[in-house]
Structure 1
Amino acid sequence: MSAVSPVVESVLGSVIASYIFYMFCIHPPVFAEKKTSAIFVNFILTRIKKSFEDHMRGVSPTLSYDSAADDFYKAFTGIAPFTNTAPLIIQVSPQMIYADWFGYFYNENTRINEEITRLMDSRLNLNTEMTFILNLINDSTWFMAVKSMTNMKNQMSPSQNPNPFVNSSQPEISLCNSMYDLKELIRSLQPAIDATGKLAERF
């Protein structure tokens, strides 16, 4: 036993020394990095969710993350997309001018897209599910349709189709439904927001 003890003591001493080195030299920087990452990710995801919530309220104060597809359809029937009545000011002087609804939607979509790009380009270690959802948001039908219509609105005829976001004969295939689908995607980010918030508080 006495012949083994020095070996055991040497091993234990090495393990303890390694543990002390980790706790005082490696552990703090790693935790600091994890906390910084969690704070940043939580900040961006929260901004995306809040930005889209404000976006919905711009269409109608009745819309929220709890709204159903029918609620979106009803809200969209109340707007006139070709008129400069959207809640976005594009000129202040010499007179205040508001954007049309195509411009409003495009501007808000761009803001969300920029936030996602900022997060994806951060080189942080994002989990697979979060990355998948963010990519789905970026490639959403709503984003693509709004961009296309914004570029083509001058070729569209308001007299023939005053509101291309709704289809009165077939409401279930109305374009506004794709905004509802986007709402559901952004809503699904909430678990990631909660998780990163807890990480930021724990470290």
Structure 2
Amino acid sequence: MRAALCCFCFALGLAWAQPPSGAFALQVFAFGDPAHAQRVAERLRTYGFDAYTETPPGSRWVQVRIGCFGARADAEGLLADVRARVSADALIVPFSPGAGASVCAVRELGFIPPPRWELAHSGAERVSFRVGDPPRYLVFDGRWRVAQSDAETHAPSAGLPAGTLHAHYRATRSRGRPLVRADLAGGSLLIAAGELLWTSRGAAVVQLGQEVFALRLVLP
């Protein structure tokens, strides 16, 4: 029970990570030829990576980068797949506001799973998890909140923050690693590592290691 209460406290003190301030990207290559860098970025996009080119001020090297991540943990999650499939030298760098990423993935950390927890309800507008004994409920309906009973989990939805992009989220795998893909009007992108637990049109709930978090997409 003590572990469960700690998880609830952990969730209540946190909010959506907001880009572009403090966001991150993955740098995979640097080329002297801008045209070649652009061709590489286009090829990476066919694999589902949100790749783009960027030339830092004062540099003659055109860098090929992937993504925009509001939290470093999400950049780290996708880094393993990029290093395995694209470049072993890929690294995390600060995201440059105004860079060419299509979307930015932002998260709200929900809880660290205790030894006893399970999915309680999964619907179109909300998902709830039963934690501890006697049970309490952690609900995501656009925001994370704590419910003391099953009845409280069905309170009116908080709704997602303004600016959230609509996407169809689905689970996929690469070299045995679980990943989350988002299908948007402009194409399909790999946006996070982890097991997809629940999804709506505007958000996904994902477990990666010892964290369960909500993920949504915004414009960079």
Q: What TM bracket, shorter-length normalisation?
A: under 0.3
Richer in helix (by share): 1
State TM-score, norm by structure 2. 0.24
Between 1 and 2, higher relative CO (CA 8 Å, sep ≥ 6) is seen in: 1
Q: Which has the larger radius of gyration?
A: 1
Structure with greater strand percent: 2
